[in-house]
Amino acid sequence: MATKKTAKKKASSRATKMVYFFGGEKADGNGTQKALLGGKGANLAEMALIGLPVPAGFTITTEVCTHYYENGRKWPSDLQNQIEKNIKKTEAVMGAKFGDLENPLLLSVRSGARESMPGMMDTILNLGINDDVVEALASKANDESFAYDSYRRFLQMYGEVVMGVEQKASEHHDPFEAILDKAKAKEKVENDSELSVAALKDIVAQFKKLIKTRTGKDFPQDPMAQLRGAVDAVFSSWQNDRAKVYRQKYGIPAEWGTAVNVQAMVFGNTGKTSGTGVAFTRDPATGENVFYGEYLIDAQGEDVVAGVRTPKQVKQMAKDLPSSHKQLLKIRKVLESHFKDVQDIEFTIEKGKLWMLQTRNGKRTGFAAVNIAVDMVNEKLISKETALQRIPAEDLSHLLSPIFDGPEEKKAKKVGSGLPAGPGAASGQIYFTAEAAVAAAAKGQKVILTRQETSPEDLRGMIAAEGILTTRGGASSHAALVARQMGKICVCGAHDMTVDYSKKTLTGGGVTLKEGDFLSLNGFVGSIYAGELKTAPSQVIQALLEGNAAAKRSQSYKKYDQLIKWADQYRKLGVRTNSDTPGQVKNAIAFGAEGIGLTRTEHMFFEGNRIDAVRQMILAEDNAGRAKALKKLLPYQKKDFTGIFEALDGRPATIRLLDPPLHEFIGTMTSQQIKELAKKLKVSPAFINRRINELHEENPMLGHRGCRLGIVYPEITKMQATAILEAAVEVGKKAKNKPQPEIMVPLVAYAKELELQKAVIDEAAAEVRLKYGLKKSELKYQVGTMIEIPRAALTANEVAEHAQFFSFGTNDLTQTGLGLSRDDSSSFLPAYQDAEVVNNNPFSQLDQTGVGQLVEIGVEKGRSAKPKLKVGICGEHGGDPESVKFCHRTGLNYVSCSPFRIPIAKLAAAQAALEDAPAPKKKATKKKTVAKKKTATKKKTARKK
Amino acid sequence: MATKKTAKKKASSRATKMVYFFGGEKADGNGTQKALLGGKGANLAEMALIGLPVPAGFTITTEVCTHYYENGRKWPSDLQNQIEKNIKKTEAVMGAKFGDLENPLLLSVRSGARESMPGMMDTILNLGINDDVVEALASKANDESFAYDSYRRFLQMYGEVVMGVEQKASEHHDPFEAILDKAKAKEKVENDSELSVAALKDIVAQFKKLIKTRTGKDFPQDPMAQLRGAVDAVFSSWQNDRAKVYRQKYGIPAEWGTAVNVQAMVFGNTGKTSGTGVAFTRDPATGENVFYGEYLIDAQGEDVVAGVRTPKQVKQMAKDLPSSHKQLLKIRKVLESHFKDVQDIEFTIEKGKLWMLQTRNGKRTGFAAVNIAVDMVNEKLISKETALQRIPAEDLSHLLSPIFDGPEEKKAKKVGSGLPAGPGAASGQIYFTAEAAVAAAAKGQKVILTRQETSPEDLRGMIAAEGILTTRGGASSHAALVARQMGKICVCGAHDMTVDYSKKTLTGGGVTLKEGDFLSLNGFVGSIYAGELKTAPSQVIQALLEGNAAAKRSQSYKKYDQLIKWADQYRKLGVRTNSDTPGQVKNAIAFGAEGIGLTRTEHMFFEGNRIDAVRQMILAEDNAGRAKALKKLLPYQKKDFTGIFEALDGRPATIRLLDPPLHEFIGTMTSQQIKELAKKLKVSPAFINRRINELHEENPMLGHRGCRLGIVYPEITKMQATAILEAAVEVGKKAKNKPQPEIMVPLVAYAKELELQKAVIDEAAAEVRLKYGLKKSELKYQVGTMIEIPRAALTANEVAEHAQFFSFGTNDLTQTGLGLSRDDSSSFLPAYQDAEVVNNNPFSQLDQTGVGQLVEIGVEKGRSAKPKLKVGICGEHGGDPESVKFCHRTGLNYVSCSPFRIPIAKLAAAQAALEDAPAPKKKATKKKTVAKKKTATKKKTARKK
């Protein structure tokens, strides 16, 4: 709220600077001001400052956008004035005048949020043309065709984006396109560029008429009115559906708002010495250190990104436009050494002169992120710290995703190939629209979204798909860009294949596939296969879990391994695993787990025919019957724990006592199973049914479970404690590194519960010592609790009196803290995300504002009673990067997560530790730095345990 | 914890005073030290100090008891030494010596906790006799029979209580009683007192043998060893089952411990000028200002309480023992003017000399409590403040309990009469054992526990019963005492009736009733009727709700009315009602409600055939279908609100929007109902079944309910808001006092939820204004939220930005805060109470330690954003006195409860306000006083709204 208010106040004050100029090697802002100027605006300023050729212009700040939404979509009073002043400056640098009838300046108007949201918001080009200016433009360029082509492009964009002309349900085509198509048909030409001037003039007239008919308003001839409309449209596009979906997916707050960049137009569509392109300073799919990009001769920028014309590789520019190519190669180096990162650039060449339109840090796959970061450290371009901080921790999951099984891929029917835009292997059923893809995914199908090209409207379908295939567009097309960012497997521009939307078919290699048929994509090399191919583990997995020597020699594994080693150097948080079997534990240790943070003992109850003994225990009507059944279970449990302790080789193991309501073990029986069980236990099926009914609960999540079972039936706790401790003793006899059992009592709400359960565990320990003739020091164990009930967090000082450790069970703490059942919330969480009540599913990413407070209170109060209390987290949030960082800031000792999340948790932990350090280079505001320093001081000691 | 630690530390220090002497008009302690000396010990000291004749003795503090339990039941090192010193002092005052063979001093050893727990713990009398002392006693009293009778009584008590001799399962009788019975049979006498000295000596020998055989140990001849055993036994009895049950019922913490009172024996069983009795300074059942009690000539004190011999009324003493009677009447006045309250006293007359053995504030019925308090104010004995503070708020419920319908009672078959020991009217089925009573009550029967006499073992049965009937014992018997305290209807000592345990019959008035037959008790007058009698409202109810003129003139109503007026003067908290219908609202206003704190709109959905429209709305598959159904519901809802606003006459009304999961409205349909509904709605039954399945939730409490419905289906919120506001406008047109609607959004976890719902409500308001042509100021309403999810409390500052009021929904806040489903917790809460994890059901009495923190955080954060935020509570805790006091301390503006709890809430609120005031007379420690003053300063302004 504070930020909002401040913004409001500032924006409404007369003195506030709302517009920032750039151009002519000067700029009001700079590259650090992304929050204020948006990414694009800040970097345009920065490029101007370092002397790169940037068309002059200015940026309207994000604060103005916030003001706009907080004030019924009205402009702050001084905005118009500031814009006019900056147009004057732009005119001065570019040597042309906005709306001038001799030497007119045209403008582009583009959105630019703090984080790039490619294609999500609106853009208007060629702004400033009217019926008079078009003539001036024609005579200035000495090219009437160019002038009227620009005018008709402008009219279409303005009509659609600003004035809201839409395709009607009754129309088969966009109405502007329809006019264009008619004109082409009349002149019997195929391309827009072949149209005669007369035709273009006629089109312009028709476009203006269309606008008037559809909107009831005339197209504004006043350039300044055009600009006002365009700025409003960009602001409005911040709240369009596409932008909202995108923000949800990436957790971008609606409050950020977008900046608006108004910039002098330069034209790549002015002949054979003109052109436009996009490029990456390194390969964004693999990370390879090569200049990588595409361009089109005689085209406007949007043509490249839209993927309609297939562009040329940037290396061909050496032939086509040698001097501009040379200049670009130089700029590539300047940019990387200035920004210390891979840059994603847009450029235009107007009659031989190179203009830089944009630079930003390039989005890249997880593979590329790791490769580039490690390479740049080796090139001494960046430090290890920067390398660690730069890779989104979540992206490491790309390196663990499956690939195709080699031999099988060789045998598979190849039907086409394209650009490898998103590495990995995906098999699934093809669907040709986003809607169909979403529907199929909702039914549980794996989907390959198959399109000629994708556009922002396809976003939901791309999210739902396993993989994406396009038959048009290059590595910089929308499909490639978005897939890369999402970590989706993607092959794009498969020109040897054909999509027929009307027949719903994909044809290639002599094969025609229908909607719903299986297709497989190899996103590493761009191969496309008919059918469903088996996958194999990634190289990193093969190296780590299968000890594959070739995989260990691979660049992919080596760089991964280097990165994790760096992460281990920096992180302060321990990283443990949630694992229930010896096999899982072994994998987790291969991934670098330092112990077990959570073993769920009940999972073991379902194995083999143990469930019979469990059910016998549950159905027992007295202690004797229960004791008998528990006696049967003891050796099973002991065997489980033995395997786990052996796999751990002396690492600590937090083992949670029985947690779920007993009903879960008997509620799911079929009547046949009930009959059989009744026979085994010598009771009637009616009796079993009665017990099932008795144990039924309205809200089992809040029912008789967790330690509530152990309080009512202490004999269960005792059996489990005995099994754990006997296993520890027996493994310990043979092993060099003794097991470190940590027995965890679940669902504690009252300190007394833990006290009572601890007494039972201690009693079991005394008996185990007696049985094996051990001294007290010869059987060590800890007793602690899960903090997963708000009351336990709020009274953590009392609970800590009886605990040697806490582990935050944030799954249940989220359920209780938000009053939200994980199982039931799926029916309304999507609506909640649409309404922006929540940005993330709180079961995936910890709700730091709410549930996080309970964690903070729990840690603070727990340590107030026991300063050295060991505290961890074992909810699924333990593998979510943002949540891991929160755990670091809150002073936890460790996080625990599933084996495959361990690398991610390690990297996030290292990043959190680095965020703690006083960071001179970062763009943090002064206030933030102070806050962070404070936190850092708190936790100077390493707390990996 | 702090208290425990302090106690431990003190008790283990050598310097700590563990034993407090009293006697000879002197005392170490005084009446204010109940926490340390127990109630009995503190008052013995106080009586000694004000010059009353108290047998000398000493009190071992409760801190020693705490030490005893914290140190494996061992004595602190200095205790023996301090006891010995105090025995010397006792000897000096009483002129006799413990264990002396000439002039032996005998001792009684009794428990005495901070609060009286009658009959729950153990007592040993006549301690100090051994084979030699008995002879000295005989010669001192010149009565061998008395000496050996005392010895055999002592042996039996000591054998049972200290040495643990028990009746075996194979025995039909207590083994001591069996020996006694045999001796009486041999001598052919009926009463113990008729036994010859020879027989008594033989009994003594047999008793000693019995102890040796059963325990393997000799009865200790050393008086000091006897004393040590007795003290241990009293400490141990603090943890016996009876005591635990009692503590649970009355919420007494186990940490308090008991003191032990060791006192010189005086003997009421030493002839016709001796006697013993118990009395109240006023009638504890009705409150009438008369000396009220019973005594027995030639008896020991336990005989009166046990109810075996029927005692005489105390006024008869004027004839039997005139001088002692006169002295007692004087003491009655001294005690009342000293203690400013009704006293419950025990006395013994030994050969003409009166000794006071105990005084304590008398337990009384709710009727008596109100009468006495108001009378004492009128007598200028106490202040209004004291009167208000003295009455347990809960006891006001006695005054609201039903009575018998007059005419019907006259026609009923009277089968007996007894002492009216617990006022009120009860009908139920008779059961003769506590077990049977508990079992029948568990089945939902109303039970009259019918016994010859009750003992502490019957406590569970008494708790389960509606009424209690005994055929023996007087108004001071166990049954009367406990019933009075529990507010149970009780008739005791119905000598004209006979209970036959073996046949399970109750006979009287020529009628024999069997187990399970109906019986009715009039506890006002002591009448007993066969069959089930209709009940009528109490006088207070008749006066308030029926406007009955005679009832209004009754003392009972007048004093009630006076008391509530005083409460209204002092309380700071507003008191509102939870009411869903105009009828309920009218009742609540008659009880003094100041508005509605909670109207549950969904209750209205079940009335008549509205449920069809509700179901139609739920089954709708699109907005149009839902809108149609909602349109049908609107007039119903509007009518409901109209009635409520009319009944309120301008008082504020908090109306909660739809809360329960939609499944609740359709999940309970039978297949027939489904068929019918399908027909009505023109859909298939299969469709309805599918929707029912879709809407089913695993944990509906945490599912799609509350504002989550309104977020997904804003049209529901809009319909409800429209109905509320239209009703408010239409009622307001005719009424002088305009309705004050307060629309409450339930189950908010995120501020954004409230923001969105408020927008819908505001939109509805705008439309209502338009419809009725009103200006903004002409339709006023507030929008607020229930705080019932921990996250809402933790982020209350954000939530408050959109709220005009908060109401704590402590039912759900308890469920989420404790992770405990109200519906499911009954299966293990009893075990939790047994294990002393919880003292009270957290759904009845707010868990102040845990859930209370969420309330405190919510209030603090809410007011940090909006200092004048109106805050109330509408969970059921709003009618629980302790919870009401908590609400006062936390600074709430009002509590809300069901209509019948309003008087209780008002009294509790007044008490809370009085507790705030700097109280010079109270025993609060310095620390507490400071804390309370702080709170008081915070809330200087009255906050009734």
Render pLDDT for B357-396 as a digit per residue (tens, 0 to 9): 999 988 888 889 999 999 999 999 999 999 999 999 989 9
Check residue B307 and give its pLDDT. 57
Cβ burial, residue B5 (10 Å; 0-12/13-18/19+): exposed
Q: Give every CB contact of residue A568 below 8 A, 6+ residues apart in sequence.
A: A592, A906, A910
Check residue A943 and give its pLDDT. 57
Q: Is the pLDDT of residue B135 over 60?
A: yes
Beta strands (DSSP E) in A408-497 are: 414-417, 419-422, 425-431, 447-451, 467-470, 489-492
Check residue A251 and give its pLDDT. 79
As a whole number, the mean pLDDT across chain A is: 90
Check residue B587 and give its pLDDT. 93
Render pLDDT for A704-732 as a digit per residue (tens, 0 to 9): 999 999 999 999 999 999 999 999 999 99
| Mean pLDDT within B153-181 | 90
What backbone torsions phi and psi does residue A86 show, to the nearest 5 degrees?
Answer: -75, -30
Cβ burial, residue A407 (10 Å; 0-12/13-18/19+): exposed
Render pLDDT for A870-905 as a digit per residue (tens, 0 to 9): 999 998 899 999 999 999 999 999 999 989 899 999
Share of chain A above pLDDT 90, in %: 69
Give yes or no for A818 touching B (CB within 8 A).
Answer: yes
Give yes or no for B827 touching A (CB within 8 A).
Answer: yes
Contact A837 B711 (CB under 8 A): yes
Q: Which of A918-922, B560-564, B920-924 has the lowest mean pLDDT?
A: B920-924
Q: Is the pLDDT of residue A246 over 90?
A: no
Local structure of B39: helix, strand or coil: helix
Render pLDDT for B553-579 as a digit per residue (tens, 0 to 9): 998 899 999 999 999 999 999 999 999
- Indicate the DSSP class of residue A823: T
Check residue A918 and give its pLDDT. 59
Which residue in the list B325, B398, B478, B663 is annotated as catalytic?
A: B478
DSSP-assigned beta bridge partners for residue A26: A23
Contact A702 B701 (CB under 8 A): yes
Annotated active-site residue B874? The verdict is yes
CA atoms within a 13 Å half-sphere pointing along the CA-CB vector of A709: 27
| Mean pLDDT within B746-772 | 97
At B833, is the pLDDT very low, low, confident or very high (cuts 50, 70, 90)?
A: confident
Which of B837, B851, B853, B855 should we substitute to test contact with A (largest number of A Cβ atoms within 10 Å)? B837
Give yes or no for B102 touching A (CB within 8 A).
Answer: no
| Mean pLDDT within A169-189 | 90
Annotated active-site residue A887? The verdict is no
Which residue in the list A398, A478, A663, A888 is annotated as catalytic?
A: A478
Longest dimension (CA), chain B: 105
Check residue A666 and give its pLDDT. 83
Render pLDDT for A430-441 as a digit per residue (tens, 0 to 9): 999 999 999 999
Contact B698 A701 (CB under 8 A): yes
DSSP-assigned beta bridge partners for residue B417: B527
Q: Is the pLDDT of residue A447 over 70?
A: yes
- Indicate the DSSP class of residue A160: I
CA A791 to CA A817: how far, in whole Å?
10
DSSP string of B907-945?
A: HHHHHHHHHHS--SSS---HHHHHHHHHHHHHT-S----
Residue A80 CB neighbour total at 10 angstroms:
13
The secondary element (H helix, E strand) that includes residue A833 is helix A829-834
Closest chain B C-alpha to A751 CA, distance in angstroms: 8
Q: Is the pLDDT of residue A3 over 70?
A: no
Residue B77 CB neighbour total at 10 angstroms:
11
DSSP-assigned beta bridge partners for residue B467: B448, B489
Cβ burial, residue B608 (10 Å; 0-12/13-18/19+): exposed
Q: Is the pLDDT of residue B940 over 50?
A: no
Q: Is the pLDDT of residue B722 over 90?
A: yes
Give me A481's structure tokens: 């860009």
Contact B791 A817 (CB under 8 A): yes
Render pLDDT for B843-866 as a digit per residue (tens, 0 to 9): 989 999 999 999 999 999 999 999
At A865, is the pLDDT very low, low, confident or very high (cuts 50, 70, 90)?
A: very high
| Predicted ipTM of the assembly | 0.80
As a whole number, the mean pLDDT across chain B is: 90
Task: Report how far apart, in Å, the C-alpha atoms of B337 and of each of A308, A705, B33, B286, B345 are.
Answer: 103, 56, 19, 20, 15
Check residue B1 and give its pLDDT. 41
Check residue A105 and give its pLDDT. 97
Share of chain B above pLDDT 90, in %: 69
Residue numbers of A between 758 and 817 with CB closer than 8 Å to B:
788-791, 794-795, 798, 801, 812, 815-817
Contact A790 B790 (CB under 8 A): yes
Set of chain B residues whose Cβ sits within 8 Å of the Cβ of A828: 704, 708, 711-712
Check residue A944 and give its pLDDT. 55
Per-residue b or e along B422-445, where b marks 16 or more CB atoms closer than 10 Å to that residue's CB: bbbbbbbbbbbbbebbbebbeeee
At B933, is the pLDDT very low, low, confident or very high (cuts 50, 70, 90)?
A: very low
Render pLDDT for B637-656 as a digit per residue (tens, 0 to 9): 999 999 999 999 999 999 99
Q: Is the pLDDT of residue A919 over 70?
A: no
Check residue A932 and give its pLDDT. 43
Q: Is the pLDDT of residue B944 over 70?
A: no
Render pLDDT for B728-755 as a digit per residue (tens, 0 to 9): 999 999 999 999 999 999 999 999 999 9
Give me A146's structure tokens: 């160019």
Beta strands (DSSP E) in A390-446 are: 403-404, 414-417, 419-422, 425-431
CA A742 to CA A874: how far, in whole Å?
13
Local structure of B631: helix, strand or coil: helix
| Mean pLDDT within B119-124 | 81
Per-residue b or e along A241-277, where b marks 16 or more CB atoms closer than 10 Å to that residue's CB: ebbbbbbbbeebeeebbbbbbbbbbbbbbbbeebbbb
At B690, is the pLDDT very low, low, confident or very high (cuts 50, 70, 90)?
A: confident
Set of chain A residues whose Cβ sits within 8 Å of the Cβ of B821: 697-699, 701-703
Check residue A15 and give its pLDDT. 59
Contact B823 A699 (CB under 8 A): yes
Check residue A34 and give its pLDDT. 94
At B880, is the pLDDT very low, low, confident or very high (cuts 50, 70, 90)?
A: very high
**Strand A414-417 versus strand A527-530 pairing type:** antiparallel
Render pLDDT for B249-270 as a digit per residue (tens, 0 to 9): 777 888 899 999 999 999 998 8
Give me B931's structure tokens: 């804390």
Q: Give every CB contact of residue B258 below 8 A, 6+ residues apart in sequence.
A: B38, B62, B65, B111, B112, B113, B121, B234, B235, B237, B238
At B922, is the pLDDT very low, low, confident or very high (cuts 50, 70, 90)?
A: very low
Give yes or no for B823 touching A (CB within 8 A).
Answer: yes
At A6, is the pLDDT very low, low, confident or very high (cuts 50, 70, 90)?
A: very low
Q: Is the pLDDT of residue B941 over 50?
A: no
Closest chain A C-alpha to B679 CA, distance in angstroms: 28
Set of chain B residues whose Cβ sits within 8 Å of the Cβ of A703: 821, 824-825, 827
DSSP string of B275-332?
A: EEEEEESS-TTT--SS-EEEEEES--HHHHHHTSSPPEEGGGHHHHSHHHHHHHHHHH
Render pLDDT for B310-346 as a digit per residue (tens, 0 to 9): 788 899 999 999 999 999 999 999 999 999 999 999 9
The secondary element (H helix, E strand) that includes residue B112 is strand B107-113
Render pLDDT for A351-381 as a digit per residue (tens, 0 to 9): 999 999 999 998 888 889 999 999 999 999 9
Render pLDDT for B469-516 as a digit per residue (tens, 0 to 9): 999 877 667 888 778 767 789 998 888 899 999 999 999 999 999 999
Closest chain B C-alpha to A756 CA, distance in angstroms: 9
Contact B711 A832 (CB under 8 A): yes
Check residue B910 and give its pLDDT. 97
At B918, is the pLDDT very low, low, confident or very high (cuts 50, 70, 90)?
A: low
Give yes or no for B69 touching A (CB within 8 A).
Answer: no
Residue numbers of B between 177 and 196 with CB closer than 8 Å to A:
none
Which of A787, A791, A829, A847 should we substitute to test contact with B (largest number of B Cβ atoms within 10 Å)? A791
Give yes or no for A699 touching B (CB within 8 A).
Answer: yes
Residue the block writes with tokens 């003129």: B549
**Strand B894-897 versus strand B574-578 pairing type:** parallel
Contact B752 A835 (CB under 8 A): yes
Contact B699 A850 (CB under 8 A): no
At B937, is the pLDDT very low, low, confident or very high (cuts 50, 70, 90)?
A: very low
Whether the CB-CB separation of B421 and B523 falls below 8 Å is answered with yes
Which residue in the list B65, B492, B707, B874 is annotated as catalytic?
A: B874
Contact A831 B700 (CB under 8 A): no
Closest CA to B850 of A868, A871, A816: A816
Whether the CB-CB separation of B716 and B624 falls below 8 Å is answered with no
